[in-house]
Amino acid sequence: MIAPPHSPYVIIGAGIHGLSTAYHLALQLKHSGRGTGRDIIVLEKSGICAGATGIACGVIRNNYFQPAMRELMAHSVNIWESDPETYSYHPVGYMQISCESMREDVAAIHAQQRAIGYESIFIEGAAESERYMKGLFSDWRAQGITSVLHEMPGGYANNSLAMLGLAAKAEALGVRIISGITVKALESDNSGAIAAVVTDQGRMECDYAVVAAGPWVRSFWEMLELPMEVSIRNAATGEISEDIPMWIYWSLQEGTLGVDPTLQVTNDGHMPPVIHVDTDAPLHSDHDGRRLTDTMWGIYYKPDFHFGGVQGGAAPFIVDKQASEVAVDPYGPDSPEFVVGPEFAEMWVSALAHCQQRFSGTLPHFKTEPSGGIGAFTPDSFPVFDTMRENCFVIADSNHGYKMIGVGDLVAHTICGSKPDLLKPFRFSRYAEGDLHPVSNSPFPWS
């Protein structure tokens, strides 16, 4: 498809956020009588879900210590549940299984889930937690666990199948998705508004632009001449930390154990919830018994026929490279390799075996293939969703992306003149204002 010289709405990126925004904006225009899906063009340099979305593990959960994240995720879960077939969504639920240092945090999550009507069960105490888990998996043996939060909604979706379904819904409303086109610049007029998107195939004028570029967001941040360093205010003390890098790149550790997915079924033969375990119990190698770590660690996993095995991951690590190098192309030849190495494989499979006996001896089945990828993280590891020019909305998800299908719906409402309360906590100005999200005791930077 050849890009036209003008489009009222131009969305950059055909991952979860770009496609969701395009679909929900098309619905808004149709229902309001202000236009049609033909007024929307999605520009994608590769193909639908070719970046981070295409290799995401697809977990969908509400489990966050931060109230704003919980409310946003509840909104997103509702959208996943609105069309599970098209979205290839598996509503198996989600479990946060934690050690004592996280019990208070998880109890607070449960209480606030109840307050917003999100169904979950909370189990406290080591013996009670073990009893509950063995009721699901007879071979459960994780150590140091004193609480279990079992979310009934949520689960996971098959990454590429879900996005192909979402793209089809958008195209059915007239949205045009143009692949194989690279955005080179965002051209401004005298007022600072975005006048045109400049691509390798020419210049496209627009009335409104949405940046939904996933880990490539830093490049567009530069195009918009936004600050590469920020000052962060501590609301409690009034102190200001200056020159904090706006973007930090983390390598996301995920992989697949190439076993029959039905190896991980519950005692009654059903597909299980997504399992997430955080514990400070020592972790030993399932291969030779040596101690791998005696500090807090965490993993998540699920059986997944789309991946062809049991798929999941562990806590990420900061990329030991200049952000400017990674930002050129987070998944390109100049970026860190995102095929996980043997160290991760041994750690993750040993952690699986620590949790459930059935995984002992399965390390030879670990699949060596791309997974995880690179994530562009904000200073506080939480998203920035904000209008950064009068007609340009930036979706910088700080690697929470796949589960947040509802963000596109909220962005569409914003473009059409509303101000959704759910997006307010994610404004860019929160750093200067000191209105930050609370920090949990999880080993994961995004929790």
Q: In this predicted structure, what is the pLDDT of residue 68?
A: 93
Quickly count: other Cβ atoms within 10 Å of residue 271's Cβ.
17
Q: In this predicted structure, what is the pLDDT of residue 116?
A: 92
d(CA 109, CA 119): 11
Strand 283-284 and strand 384-389: the pairing is: unpaired
d(CA 21, CA 52): 17
What are the tokens at 241?
């930390």
What are the tokens at 398?
């700080």
pLDDT tens digits, 170-200: 999 999 999 999 999 999 999 999 999 999 9
d(CA 240, CA 418): 32
Strand 248-252 and strand 373-377: the pairing is: antiparallel
pLDDT tens digits, 333-346: 444 445 557 888 99
Phi then psi for 188, rounded to 5 degrees? -105, 155
Pick the closest to residue 49 from 209, 167, 128 (CA basis).
Answer: 167
Q: In this predicted structure, what is the pLDDT of residue 401?
A: 77
Please give the domain boundaries of the chain with CATH numbers for all domains: 1-92+153-242+380-447 (3.50.50.60), 94-152+248-377 (3.30.9.10)
Quickly count: other Cβ atoms within 10 Å of residue 401's Cβ.
23
Residue 315: partners with Cβ closer than 8 Å, 6 or more residues away: 253, 297, 298, 443, 444, 445
Is residue 27 within 8 Å of residue 36, measured between CB atoms?
no
> How is 175-193 classified by DSSP, letter by letter?
-EEEES--EEEEEE-TTS-
Q: In this predicted structure, what is the pLDDT of residue 274?
A: 97
pLDDT tens digits, 94-121: 999 999 999 999 999 999 999 999 999 9
Pick the closest to residue 62 from 11, 110, 6 (CA basis).
Answer: 110
Which residues does the chain have with pLDDT short of 50?
Answer: 333-337
d(CA 352, CA 312): 10
What are the tokens at 46?
């590769």
